[in-house]
């Protein structure tokens, strides 16, 4: 029991670690989604570009929105932003800090998707195979313009009947894949350098403001959790009192209607637990009253 | 006891996470169901569309209803909705909150099924293979084939083994085309659902936060109150049963004493608790009699007060006992045996 409380307290005080955990899980889910997704380029001139770029950019938007939805802190931040001022001033620095931390975490999964897509190469190959310059590749040099578009569009489909006999499709495929992987690694390098610089250089600028903003954003989060917990505890006690009052009132009613002489101190064993309800009819009446006339929400 | 209360509190305060967990499990179950399901396109002109659309739309409907059935809160919602007002007013905002939260969670597994189906592509390929644009993708000028024949040939596209229309349109081309459309639809559907969820979640604090907090508190309260009431009733039933059974054994024991012609053997003074627990039944025959009596003639659901004089069953209670004759009958039969 003590262990539960400790685990609960650990999670409460480390909401940042919980959010980092969710962020990591989403990134892993993004990789898993990509590997289980059956990429199937249409190999048709007008559709290739739309499909390839669609697969590269639509799932990241979905993952970004998911990252925002699953992050509890985004709700907390919105509430803090929209609440009336009341007795407590609003600190915009705190709201900005929370917003930037939420955005940073939500950006991880989409970036992972884009990088995995680029390193794999299928999307770029599908999207840009039709935009290749046919003069550069022997197999497509002497073909008419209309046909060359069709042929280039079929490059991503290795098993297509036209492609089986054409060796130039491998050249196009290698070329595009090379570009795609180069782009992927470059983006990864740039992002990591940016993250590294941001973390290293941050203490040089506004460290105190940062510490304050972080402290108060953590505080708002914890305060919210404790408020919810207290409300739960309160509603439990309220319900307990309400039910006790109800049973007591039923007991009073039974006493009022029965003609028994008052028996003092002669209660049978467990009589207090029985609330004076010792009969099938009385129990049925109690249950009926509970349904038809719930007691008022007033335990004063 | 304290441990249970701690666990109870943990789940209560994390009730949302608990229900989200169940929701996630149903979504995973939905994906598993789809991968375990053996999709079998009929490859016949009019059946394809019915089969494909059926597989796309009927299981989500079933999953949606299942989401309602498996959610404990639905009975709570129904009870709160239908109860007479009595002394406690009804708040429609609370009912709306409960319904929305149940419906939102029930929608997740169907949405996952539809997305997985569309992203996989088999359903759309099966349903719409007869509508493939043969003019642009294939060889529409293929002679001596009536519309019906073409439809029949196209309907076999999903079944590679029996497809015989390579001259009309290559089946890989058609399948790739249909799959591309299906996957595009799938991603658009997922994007739409995610955007809706995001809007619903983020617009709420901007507009009706106070009302939301109120509805949430009272809906949790109703849930906790119901659970506590059930707990209290269970405790009462336990005490009731205990006293009822105790009185049954005491009645049994008194009958035995009355039936025997010799005075009862006094238990030795130092036998203590063990003798008390035996409730006067100390041999096999008596126990068998007690068990038979329990089965044949259960005592009435009416606990008589302990200081009741044996001759007059009406001394204490204003409400008449419901089955006063049953124990007497047993005693009478006993006498006749003797």
Tell me the pLDDT tens digit for each residue of B283-318.
888 888 888 888 888 888 888 776 444 444 444 333
Cβ within 8 Å, pair A55-B198: no
Share of chain A above pLDDT 90, in %: 35
- Residue B304 included in any domain: no
Cβ within 8 Å, pair A68-B198: yes
**Closest A-chain CA to B192:** A62
CA pair distance A280, A284, nearest whole angstrom: 6
Share of chain A above pLDDT 70, in %: 90
CA pair distance A157, A39, nearest whole angstrom: 11
CA pair distance B177, B192, nearest whole angstrom: 23
ipTM computed for the complex? 0.84
**Closest A-chain CA to B4:** A1
By the CB < 8 Å criterion, does B119 face chain A? yes
- At residue B328, does pLDDT exceed 80? no
Nearest CB partner across the interface for B205, out of A50, A78, A277 = A78
- At residue A86, does pLDDT exceed 60? yes
What residue ranges do the domains of chain A occupy?
A: 1-206
pLDDT of residue B322: 40
pLDDT of residue B212: 87
Low-confidence winner among B69-78, B268-277, B329-338 (lowest mean pLDDT) = B329-338
- At residue B64, does pLDDT exceed 90? yes
Task: Select from A62, A227, A269 the residue whose CB has the most chain B CBs within 10 Å, as the one to mutate to test that interface.
Answer: A62
Cβ within 8 Å, pair B317-A229: no
Task: For residue B39, list chain A residues with Cβ-Cβ distance below 8 A.
Answer: none
Cβ within 8 Å, pair A268-B195: no
Nearest CB partner across the interface for A294, out of B2, B88, B170 = B88
The CA distances from residue B275 to A255, B282, B293, in Å, are 36, 9, 22
pLDDT of residue B56: 95
**Mean pLDDT rounded to a whole number for chain B:** 80
A160 close to B172: Cβ distance less than 8 angstroms:
yes
Mean pLDDT (whole number) for B123-149: 84
pLDDT of residue A8: 62
pLDDT tens-digit map of A274-293: 878 888 888 888 888 888 88
Task: For residue A59, list chain B residues with Cβ-Cβ distance below 8 A.
Answer: 187
Question: When comparing pLDDT for B326 and A2, which is higher?
Answer: A2
pLDDT tens-digit map of A190-224: 999 999 998 888 888 888 888 999 899 889 988 88
Task: Select from A12, A18, A51, A65 the residue whose CB has the most chain B CBs within 10 Å, as the one to mutate to test that interface.
Answer: A65
Alpha helix (H) ranges present in chain B?
2-13, 15-36, 45-70, 73-82, 92-120, 122-128, 134-137, 147-155, 171-207, 209-259, 273-277, 284-296, 325-337
CA pair distance B127, B318, nearest whole angstrom: 75
**Closest B-chain CA to A159:** B172
The CA distances from residue A256 to A268, B204, B266, in Å, are 20, 51, 42
pLDDT grade for B323, boundaries at 50, 70 and 90: very low
Question: When comparing pLDDT for A265 and B158, which is higher?
Answer: B158
pLDDT grade for B327, boundaries at 50, 70 and 90: very low
Minimal CA separation from A142 to chain B, in Å: 23
Cβ within 8 Å, pair A82-B119: no
Cβ within 8 Å, pair A294-B87: yes
- Residue B117 included in any domain: yes
Q: Which helix (H) or strand (E) holds B315?
A: none
- At residue A123, does pLDDT exceed 70? yes
pLDDT tens-digit map of A4-15: 677 666 655 567
**Mean pLDDT rounded to a whole number for chain A:** 85
Nearest CB partner across the interface for A78, out of B10, B183, B202 = B202
CA pair distance B188, B194, nearest whole angstrom: 10
Domain count, chain B: 1
Low-confidence winner among A58-72, A87-101, B1-15 (lowest mean pLDDT) = B1-15
B232: Cβ–Cβ under 8 A, 6 or more apart, which residues?
Answer: A243, A247
Tokens read off for B270: 């130092």
The CA distances from residue A169 to A38, A39, A53, A165, in Å, are 21, 18, 21, 9
Share of chain B above pLDDT 70, in %: 80
Task: For residue B305, list chain A residues with Cβ-Cβ distance below 8 A.
Answer: 260, 263, 266, 268, 278
- At residue B37, does pLDDT exceed 80? yes
By the CB < 8 Å criterion, does B139 face chain A? no
Minimal CA separation from A34 to chain B, in Å: 12
- Residue B82 included in any domain: yes
Global pTM value: 0.80
Task: For residue B246, list chain A residues with Cβ-Cβ distance below 8 A.
Answer: 269
The CA distances from residue B126 to B158, B159, B331, in Å, are 6, 9, 78
Residue range of the domain that includes B61: 1-209
Window 155-194 of B: residues touching A by CB (8 A cutoff) are 170, 172-173, 176-177, 179-180, 183-184, 187-188, 190-191, 194
By the CB < 8 Å criterion, does B243 face chain A? yes
Most confident of A33-37, A80-84, B73-77: A33-37
- Residue B239 included in any domain: no
Task: For residue A35, list chain B residues with Cβ-Cβ distance below 8 A.
Answer: none
């Amino acid at each position: 029991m003590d262990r539960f409380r400790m685990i609960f307290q650990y999670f409460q005080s480390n909401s940042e670690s919980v959010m980092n955990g969710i962020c990591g899980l989403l990134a892993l889910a993004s990789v898993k989604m990509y590997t289980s997704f059956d990429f199937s380029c249409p190999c048709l001139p007008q559709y290739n570009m739309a499909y390839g770029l669609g697969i590269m950019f639509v799932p990241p938007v979905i993952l970004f929105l998911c990252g925002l939805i699953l992050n509890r802190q985004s709700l907390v931040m919105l509430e803090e932003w929209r609440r009336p001022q009341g007795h407590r001033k609003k600190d915009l620095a705190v709201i900005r800090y929370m917003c930037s931390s939420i955005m940073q975490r939500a950006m991880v999964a989409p970036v992972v998707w884009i990088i995995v897509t680029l390193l794999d190469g299928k999307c770029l190959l599908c999207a840009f195979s039709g935009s290749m310059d046919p003069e550069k590749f022997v197999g497509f040099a002497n073909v008419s313009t209309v046909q060359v578009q069709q042929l280039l569009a079929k490059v991503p489909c290795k098993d297509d009947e036209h492609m089986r006999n054409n060796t130039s499709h491998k050249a196009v495929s290698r070329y595009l894949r090379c570009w795609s992987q180069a782009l992927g690694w470059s983006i990864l390098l740039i992002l990591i350098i940016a993250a590294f610089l941001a973390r290293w250089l941050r203490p040089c600028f506004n460290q105190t403001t940062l510490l304050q903003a972080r402290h108060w954003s953590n505080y708002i989060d914890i305060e919210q959790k404790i408020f919810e917990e207290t409300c739960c505890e309160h509603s439990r006690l309220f319900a307990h009192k309400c039910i006790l009052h109800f049973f007591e009132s039923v007991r009073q009613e039974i006493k009022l209607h029965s003609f028994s002489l008052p028996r003092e101190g002669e209660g049978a064993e467990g009589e207090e637990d029985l609330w004076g309800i010792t009969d099938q009819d009385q129990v049925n009446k109690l249950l009926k009253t509970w349904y038809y006339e719930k007691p008022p929400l007033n335990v004063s | 006891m304290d441990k249970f209360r701690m666990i109870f509190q943990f789940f209560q305060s994390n009730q949302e996470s608990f229900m989200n967990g169940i929701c996630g499990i149903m979504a995973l179950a939905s994906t598993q169901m789809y991968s375990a399901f053996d999709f079998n396109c009929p490859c016949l002109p009019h059946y394809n569309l019915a089969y494909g659309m059926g597989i796309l739309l009927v299981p989500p409907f079933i999953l949606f209803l299942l989401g309602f059935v498996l959610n404990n809160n639905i009975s709570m919602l129904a009870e709160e909705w239908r109860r007479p007002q009595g002394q406690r007013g009804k708040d429609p905002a609370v009912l709306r909150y409960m319904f929305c939260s149940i419906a939102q969670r029930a929608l997740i597994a169907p949405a996952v099924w539809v997305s997985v189906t569309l992203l996989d592509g088999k359903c759309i390929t099966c349903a719409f293979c007869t509508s493939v644009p043969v003019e642009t993708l294939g060889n529409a000028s293929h002679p001596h084939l009536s519309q019906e024949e073409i439809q029949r040939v196209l309907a076999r596209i999903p079944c590679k083994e029996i497809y015989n229309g390579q001259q009309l349109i290559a089946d890989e081309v058609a399948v790739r085309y249909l799959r591309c459309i299906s996957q595009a639809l799938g991603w658009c559907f997922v994007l739409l659902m995610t955007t809706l969820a995001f809007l619903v979640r983020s617009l709420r604090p901007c507009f009706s936060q106070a009302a939301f907090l109120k509805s949430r508190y009272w809906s949790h309260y109703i849930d906790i109150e119901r659970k506590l009431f059930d707990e209290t009733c269970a405790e009462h039933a336990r005490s009731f049963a205990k006293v009822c059974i105790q009185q049954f054994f005491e009645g049994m024991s008194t009958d035995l004493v009355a039936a025997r012609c010799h005075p009862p053997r006094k238990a030795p003074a130092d036998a203590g608790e063990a003798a008390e627990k035996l409730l006067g039944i100390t041999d096999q025959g008596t126990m068998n009699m007690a068990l038979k009596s329990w089965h044949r003639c259960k005592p009435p659901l009416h606990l008589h007060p302990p200081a009741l004089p044996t001759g007059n069953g009406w001394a204490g209670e204003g409400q008449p006992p419901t089955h006063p004759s049953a124990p007497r009958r047993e005693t009478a039969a006993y006498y006749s045996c003797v």
